């Protein structure tokens, strides 16, 4: 059955080139993964996902080709885009951002927005293409039909007014904040998107928090303890994903 097969994510544009015979050209790294890592030979079965909601069964024809077992227009599975969209706007952290990306994708995030904040400390260069590769691998591993999108890094100052939907600002050291769960339980109708902003290791600056609240962001608490930035981001998206699944089964 397809759900028991390892998955390979191939972009829709490449699948369109398969044509009526269903033959899909494999990239060298895809061929190596199938034949050396999974040890599949000719006729070996696996699944192909396009990252846009569709999945097909496939079999290896040769080292550089695979054949779809269902017509391109009639995939084995087709899934609507999850709604509401879950967006994690997480400040880039020195050592753990790759882990944040991987775990957020596994937990169900739909869009990732890396942020540079006033107190962000970065080691070396930013690596958005590396982060996208990690997101892709994580989507394959956890059998997601929709590939989460990872935006180019931006600044919190520019992004506060650009976000739309329900916008939540995870923060600490403030008395009387509602918890993330309390705010979510008050939502009656699903918004188009739910944003969760998590700050850097040094926390949000006072100016950043003021800007966010002026733009309609709601400060929330992720619990009674002070968490590492990476832990906060993962805990927050875990809570959002569980809420969406419980309320809207997606």
Residue 239, pLDDT score: 97
pLDDT classification of 144: cutoffs 50, 70, 90: very high
Interval 180-228: pLDDT, tens: 999 999 999 989 999 999 999 989 999 999 999 999 999 999 999 999 9
Give the mean model confidence (pLDDT) for residues 156-165. 89
- Closest to 164 measured CA to CA, from 214, 105, 217: 217
CA distances from 50 to 103, 159, 179, 218 (A): 21, 29, 37, 35
Q: Structure tokens of 47?
A: 């699944």
Please state, as a whole number, how many other Cβ atoms lie within 10 Å of the Cβ of residue 195: 23
Hey, where are the domains in the chain? 2-78, 85-248
Q: What is the CATH number of domain 2-78?
A: 2.40.240.20
Q: What percentage of the chain exceeds 70 in pLDDT?
A: 98
The region that residue 249 occupies, defined by phi over 0 for left and psi between -120 and 50 for alpha, beta otherwise, is: left
Task: Tell me the sheet residues that pair with 25.
Answer: 65
State the Cα–Cα distance between residues 193 and 239, nearest whole angstrom.
15
**Chain-centre distance for alpha carbon 174:** 29
Residue 2, pLDDT score: 41
Neighbouring residues of 58: CB distance < 8 A, sequence distance ≥ 6: 8, 24, 45, 46, 47, 48, 66, 67, 68, 69
pLDDT classification of 162: cutoffs 50, 70, 90: confident
- Closest to 70 measured CA to CA, from 85, 51, 49: 49
Interval 11-42: pLDDT, tens: 999 999 887 789 999 999 999 999 999 999 99
Q: What is the pTM assigned to this prediction?
A: 0.93
CB 63 within 8 A of CB 89: no
What is the CATH T-level fold of the domain 85-248, as seen in this structure?
Answer: Alpha/beta knot (3.40.1280)
Average pLDDT, the chain: 93
pLDDT classification of 3: cutoffs 50, 70, 90: very low
């Amino acid at each position: 059955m397809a759900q028991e097969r390892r998955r390979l994510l191939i972009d829709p544009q490449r699948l369109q080139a398969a044509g009526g015979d269903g033959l899909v050209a494999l990239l060298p790294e895809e061929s190596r993964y199938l034949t050396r890592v999974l040890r599949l030979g000719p006729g070996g079965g696996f699944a192909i996902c396009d990252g846009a909601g569709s999945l097909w069964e496939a079999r290896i024809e040769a080292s550089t080709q695979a054949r779809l077992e269902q017509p391109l227009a009639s995939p084995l599975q087709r899934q609507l885009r999850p709604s509401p969209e879950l967006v994690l706007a997480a400040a880039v952290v020195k050592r753990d951002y790759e882990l944040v990306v991987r775990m957020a994708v596994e937990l169900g995030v739909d869009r990732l927005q890396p942020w540079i904040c006033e107190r962000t400390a970065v080691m070396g260069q930013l690596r958005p293409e590396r982060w996208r590769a990690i997101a892709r691998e994580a989507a394959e591993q956890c059998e997601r039909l929709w590939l989460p999108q990872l935006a180019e890094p931006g600044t919190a100052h520019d992004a506060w007014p650009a976000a739309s939907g329900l916008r939540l600002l995870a923060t600490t050291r403030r008395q009387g904040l509602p918890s993330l769960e309390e705010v979510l339980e008050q939502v009656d109708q699903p918004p188009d998107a739910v944003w969760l902003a998590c700050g850097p290791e040094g926390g949000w600056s006072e100016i950043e928090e003021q800007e966010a609240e002026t733009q309609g962001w709601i400060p929330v608490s992720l619990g009674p303890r002070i968490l590492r930035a990476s832990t906060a981001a993962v805990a927050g998206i875990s809570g959002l994903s569980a809420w969406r699944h419980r309320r809207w089964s997606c």
